[in-house]
Each structure stands twice: as structure tokens, then as C-alpha cells.
Structure 1
Amino acid sequence: MSRPKTITIFLKDSDSPNGIKIADLSDSIARVYILPRVELAYARTRPDLNTPAVYMLFDDERTNIYIGECENFNKRVIDHEAKKLFWQWAVVSIATGAGLDKAEVKFLESHAVTL
């Protein structure tokens, strides 16, 4: 029998459903950020985004997707801001607490690409 879970979604700007969202799953180390490209300045204030991550970059229509992994999302996204012009949204998956190592994020990226 499956056990119920609670997903908590924090809306940074409660007046805008298209703003930053942070989702946490109860009893889990998983955290997901949904970040509009125009809000990357906020992402840089988040120390947990200076950790290994698996991320996806989307355009507004979600027809173009880039899947990547990194050791530090805030550093990696600087390059994407300059070189990948198509994207408007980033979905960033991290682990709270002890976090993920490079091998784990590479595995998760590989799995995401095959989906």
C-alpha cells in the first residue's frame, strides 16, 4: 500500500502564478525550483542553488527542452544566459541536506534524457 505524501509549493510572489515556485516533497530530500529566466537574480541569492543539480531549460511553448547537470547551478546558468537564447524557464532539481554528488546528477540527467 502506498503512503501518502505532501507536496509543499512556495510561491515567491503570490500575486503571480507565473513567478518563482519552490516545491518540496514531505519526507524527502528532493527540492524543485521553477524559475522564470527573468528571475535569475533571485536564484543567485539561494545558497542551495550553488550545489549539484539536474535542470531543464524550456521555451514558453515547451517545444524546445535542454536537459543538463552541473556541480553549481548558479555558475552554470550564467553560460546558458549568454549562449542559449531560446529558454524562458528553468526547472532545477536539487537535494537538500547532504545533497547529490557528480555521479548521481550525471545518472539522473542520463535517465531524464531517455524519458
Structure 2
Amino acid sequence: MQPATIKIFLTEGTPDGLRTAEISNWNGKAIACPRANINGFRTRPEIDSPGVYILSGSDPDTGKPTIYIGEAESVRSRIANHTNKDFWVSVTCFISKDENLTKAHVKYIEGQLIKQANDSGKVCLMNSSSSGARLPEADAAEMDVFLEKIYQLLPILGIAHFTQIEEEPSPRELFSCKIGSLVAHGRRTTNGFVVYKESQAVLKHRKSAVHTKRMRESLVENGILKELNDHCIFTLDHEFSSPSAAGAAVRGGSTNGLTAWKNSNGKSLKEIEAS
């Protein structure tokens, strides 16, 4: 992503209230608001425009972060149709300041956001598919630029579920976690720790592992961990919140990730960071 200057305006003076966000030299605008102040959101004149929106909350049964992604020719009208959904506690929408977004544009953006959310594996998505839209090559390129700005703003507005795993590291940044003959590879990221595709993990959880068991079962349910003979493998790169969470997924129980993950010279994360 390109460096950017971001302007955030707290319309009520509070960081968790209704706020707008813009990026220099970008024709888009973001509006984020807690559900508790949905009436204030509805008074915004910009939301009569076409746009995409994200409803954010958590699953009432599992507590897992949950979102719904939608598009509309009038964001105001569409949000009114979601008052029967109980899970969401905030809404974030993106519109164009110059009113150049069409129905096809916002459907294309919606489809890309849904795909990215599904690929991230970080969130429960209420709508798992989208009709999307096919755009002329020039329009698709323009919307991809619009999407890049959306991805820059989302974490700042409290939605980190779309964060893409960073590019491959240099060899010296690669770490390994071993248990018996099984080996997993990964590295630190700005958001935690990523374990790479084809890394190995134990087949069974430790009897004492309650939280880890639930986490690993979720990874299996989502196809991220797959059983292979007497162990499991990661079917894709997956980012965890910390080295310890990553190590626990590999070893099947509580793990000190700072000492479990070591580089090619045998130095642990703890030793490297201490030096």
C-alpha cells in the first residue's frame, strides 16, 4: 500500500462515536457509527448515495467476531432493513464524494470484500457469497484502487478482519516450532504470527487443553488444519494473534511461543528480541 495521510473527524468528540474518515487525494469517504447512535448515522446526507457497508458484532453463541457485508444504491434505506439482525453493534460504510459509484461498482467492491473476508479466516461472515459484478477492465482497475483505500481505513476504524498477510520474509526471518518429528514454519507479522501452509501439527490435543482444543477444532472446521495420517497439516498460511497462539495450535496445548519458535541458528524469539 502507498503512504497516506488520513483525516478522521469525531462528529461527537468521542473516539467511539460517529466518525468520518478520508484519505488525501481520494474521492471516497468512510462513515463509522455504533448502533447505539444509529439515528445520528441516518441523518448523514452522504448515505443516500450508492455504497458498501459492513455490520460488525459477534456471534451470540461462540463470541467469534461476526460481520455482514452489503451494498446498496442508497445505504440509508438498506441499513433500515437490517434492524432485525441482533448480532451487530456498529456499522461502517464507504461512499464516493463525487457520486461516481454505480450499482455495478458497489457490487464489485462487495464481492471483493466478501472474498477477502473469507480468505482471511479471521471472522464469521453472515453472507458467504455475493453475486458480485463484472466490470470493464478500466473500471475494475479503478475499483481496485478504491478497495486499497478501504483496506487502509478499515483497521483504523476498528475492523481488522480483512488484513492481508504480509509478503514473504527473507530467510533470516523464518522461524520453526518442533514437537517430536513434526515441524511448523512461520514468522512474526504486524498483527501477530503467521504459520505457513504445509506446516505440521499434532493430531490430538492435550487433555488439559480446553481453549486450545476449541481453537484447533475451529481451524479444522474451516479447513485450515487437515488430518494427514498421524498428524495434521496447515492447508494455507494462517495468522494467529501471537506466537504462543500459533505454537499452541501446532503443539496441541499451552505453549510459550517466545521460546518455542526458533530461527535457523537455534535462537528463540525471546533471545532475538532481548538482543
Relative to the length of structure 1, the TM-score reads: 0.89
1:63 is matched with 65
After TM superposition, the structure 1 stretch with the greater mean CA deviation from structure 2, 49-58 or 36-45, is 36-45
- Structure 1, unmatched stretches of 5+, are none
After TM superposition, the structure 1 stretch with the greater mean CA deviation from structure 2, 61-70 or 33-42, is 61-70
1:7 is matched with 6
2:254 is matched with none
Deviation at 1:18, TM superposition (A): 1.0
1:15-94 aligned at under 5 Å gives the runs 16-59=14-57, 63-81=65-83, 83-94=84-95
- Structure 2, unmatched stretches of 5+, are 117-275
Q: Name the count of aligned residue pairs.
A: 112
Contact 2:69 2:114 in 1 (8 A): yes
Deviation at 1:3, TM superposition (A): 6.3
1:96 is matched with 97
Contact 1:51 1:99 in 2 (8 A): no
Q: Counterparts of 1:62 and 1:98 in 2: how far apart (Å)? A: 35
After TM superposition, the structure 1 stretch with the greater mean CA deviation from structure 2, 38-47 or 98-107, is 38-47
Question: What stretches of structure 1 move > 4 A for 4+ residues in a row?
Answer: none
Identity in percent: 34
Q: Which has the higher contact order (CA 8 A, sep 6+)?
A: 1
Q: Counterparts of 1:47 and 1:95 in 2: how far apart (Å)? A: 12
Relative to the length of structure 2, the TM-score reads: 0.39
Q: CA RMSD in A?
A: 1.7
Q: Counterparts of 1:8 and 1:87 in 2: how far apart (Å)? A: 26
